[in-house]
């Protein structure tokens, strides 16, 4: 779900509002996420499952949590994760507006969910540097159908419940931040990141069912041209963030990223990778909250220096045409393979939010094959044969 919690690639349990009012964004508020399914088990929901329609709001609330058991004012992981993603959204939007330098501003769309929670979507479009940039947060909770729970958690038994009992609705909590940034310059890479936290409570009619939680997310780079200085810088920041918590994280999550963003029908990756993880709960919860926070805080140090170096690089029509072809690959992955996107489309979520990750423009050229040895060929080769950049 890369793209993304509930992101672009995702929209899993939190489709955005049926009608949206866009307005100038304030510097420090929050998003809608991407897919929330467990690793390798996409969240499958019957077509008959009704998805709540969200209500447009004029202002973001101080918190999307409630005091009635939803963590508001409790210092819980839920509360601290929401605080983190809303802070990061504000910081990233402010930094991107400054980097764009055109006076273009993010517009903001706030929504609430009748069953609990809501989200804030922000989009900057047609800037000087960024053709399209979306930074979204969501915090949603309520109950999910038992079929969705079984698909997400891989429960054993015909009924997906302990002792063969029939499972009822499963209380859940999901929060995340998700973003895709598409620059105009072909030498400036696209960036995607998504970080999310998910909980399920005990099944309502199954005594003793455990409460479960996990973290997921990642940050990955999708350039049209390989500039090794940039790619190595990006991966080094990811490694530094990982190494602060566990030296095994970067190699493990780097491979996971290469494997996840794989366009099977093309036999190539969407880009040059980064880190990706999901279903992460086999470490201390406080440690993983700190890790997710560190990763989210690493987005700007990993990306802004690259943008500053490349946003004014001279380019020609051939460079632009190649960028458009690579964006076509981005579209193919998100529409065909990204779990969050496909879930949102199948369950009737708000289309603008589901497809916010897609670029304004893309290109499909029949049987295009770059000449061996060219810079375009080198990029394609690296997408087909993932490299170790550090």
- pLDDT, tens digit, 9 for 90 and up, residues 240-266: 999 999 999 999 999 999 999 999 999
Per the structure, the count of domains in the chain is: 1
Read off the pLDDT band of 47 (50, 70, 90). very low
Q: Is residue 162 part of a domain?
A: no
User: Which of 31-35, 207-211, 313-317 is predicted least confidently?
Assistant: 31-35
Helix (H) or strand (E) holding 49: none
pLDDT, residue 30, reads 36
Q: Is residue 37 part of a domain?
A: no
Read off the pLDDT band of 10 (50, 70, 90). very low
Domain that holds residue 195: 55-155+167-384
Q: Is there a contact between 321 and 242 (Cβ–Cβ < 8 Å)?
A: no
> How far apart, in whole angstroms, are the C-alpha atoms of residue 323 and residue 115?
42
pLDDT, residue 50, reads 43
307 burial class (0-12, 13-18, 19+ CB within 10 angstroms)?
Answer: buried
Give the active site residue among 192, 233, 235, 319: 192
pLDDT, residue 114, reads 84
Q: pLDDT tens-digit profile of 203-245?
A: 656 655 567 899 999 999 999 999 999 999 999 999 999 999 9
**Mean pLDDT of all residues belonging to the chain:** 82
Q: Is residue 160 part of a domain?
A: no
pLDDT, residue 204, reads 58
Residue 235's nearest CA partner among 215, 212, 219, 213 is 219
CATH number for the domain spanning 181: value is 3.40.1500.10
Q: pLDDT tens-digit profile of 60-89?
A: 999 999 876 556 667 899 999 999 999 999
Q: Is residue 20 part of a domain?
A: no
245 burial class (0-12, 13-18, 19+ CB within 10 angstroms)?
Answer: middle
> How far apart, in whole angstroms, are the C-alpha atoms of residue 119 and residue 265?
34
Q: Is residue 174 part of a domain?
A: yes
Active site residue 235: no
pTM, two decimal places: 0.83
Tokens found for residue 228: 């090794």
Tokens found for residue 265: 């029908």
Q: Is residue 47 part of a domain?
A: no
> How far apart, in whole angstroms, are the C-alpha atoms of residue 378 and residue 137?
36
Read off the pLDDT band of 291 (50, 70, 90). very high
Residues 6+ apart with CB under 8 A from 248: none
Q: Is there a contact between 1 and 216 (Cβ–Cβ < 8 Å)?
A: yes
- pLDDT over 90, % of the chain: 63
pLDDT at 313 over 50: yes
Rounded to 10 deg, the angle between the 339-346 and 317-336 helix axes is 60
pLDDT, residue 352, reads 77
Q: Is residue 26 part of a domain?
A: no
**Mean pLDDT of all residues in 360-364:** 95
Q: Is residue 90 part of a domain?
A: yes
Beta strands 107-112 and 23-24 are antiparallel
Residue 174's nearest CA partner among 142, 139, 149 is 139
């Amino acid at each position: 779900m890369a793209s993304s919690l509930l992101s672009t690639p995702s929209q899993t349990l939190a489709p955005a509002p049926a009608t949206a009012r866009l307005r100038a964004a304030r510097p420090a508020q929050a998003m809608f996420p991407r897919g929330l399914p467990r690793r390798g088990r996409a969240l499958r929901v019957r077509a008959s499952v009704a998805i709540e329609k969200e209500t447009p709001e004029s202002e973001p609330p101080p918190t999307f949590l409630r005091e009635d058991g939803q963590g508001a004012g409790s210092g819980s992981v839920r509360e601290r994760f929401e605080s983190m993603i809303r802070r990061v959204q504000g910081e990233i939007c402010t930094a991107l507006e400054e980097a764009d330098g055109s006076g273009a501003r993010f517009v903001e769309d706030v929504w609430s969910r009748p069953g609990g929670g809501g989200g804030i979507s922000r989009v900057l479009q047609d800037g000087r540097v960024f053709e399209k940039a979306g930074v979204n947060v969501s915090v949603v909770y309520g109950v999910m159908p038992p079929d969705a729970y079984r698909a997400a958690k891989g429960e054993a038994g015909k009924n997906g419940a302990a002792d063969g009992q029939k499972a009822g609705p499963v209380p859940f909590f999901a929060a995340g931040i998700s973003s895709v940034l598409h620059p105009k310059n072909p030498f400036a890479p696209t960036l995607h990141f998504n970080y999310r936290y998910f909980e399920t409570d005990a099944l309502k009619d199954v005594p003793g069912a455990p409460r479960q939680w996990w973290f997921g997310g990642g940050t990955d780079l999708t350039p049209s041209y390989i500039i090794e200085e940039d790619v190595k810088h990006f991966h080094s920041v990811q490694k530094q963030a990982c190494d602060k918590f566990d030296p095994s994280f970067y190699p493990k999550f780097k491979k996971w990223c290469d494997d996840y963003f794989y366009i099977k029908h093309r036999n190539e990756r969407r880009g040059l990778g980064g880190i990706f993880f999901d279903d992460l709960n086999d470490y201390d919860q406080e440690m993983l909250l700190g890790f997710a926070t560190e990763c989210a805080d690493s987005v700007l140090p990993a990306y802004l220096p690259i943008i500053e170096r490349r946003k004014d690089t001279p380019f020609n029509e051939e460079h632009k045409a190649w960028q458009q072809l690579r964006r076509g690959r981005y579209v193919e992955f998100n529409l065909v393979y990204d779990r969050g996107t496909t879930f949102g489309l199948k369950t009737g979520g708000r289309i603008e939010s589901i497809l916010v990750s897609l670029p304004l423009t893309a290109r499909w050229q029949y049987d295009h094959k770059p000449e061996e040895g060219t810079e375009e060929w080198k990029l394609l080769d690296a997408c087909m044969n993932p490299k170790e950049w550090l």
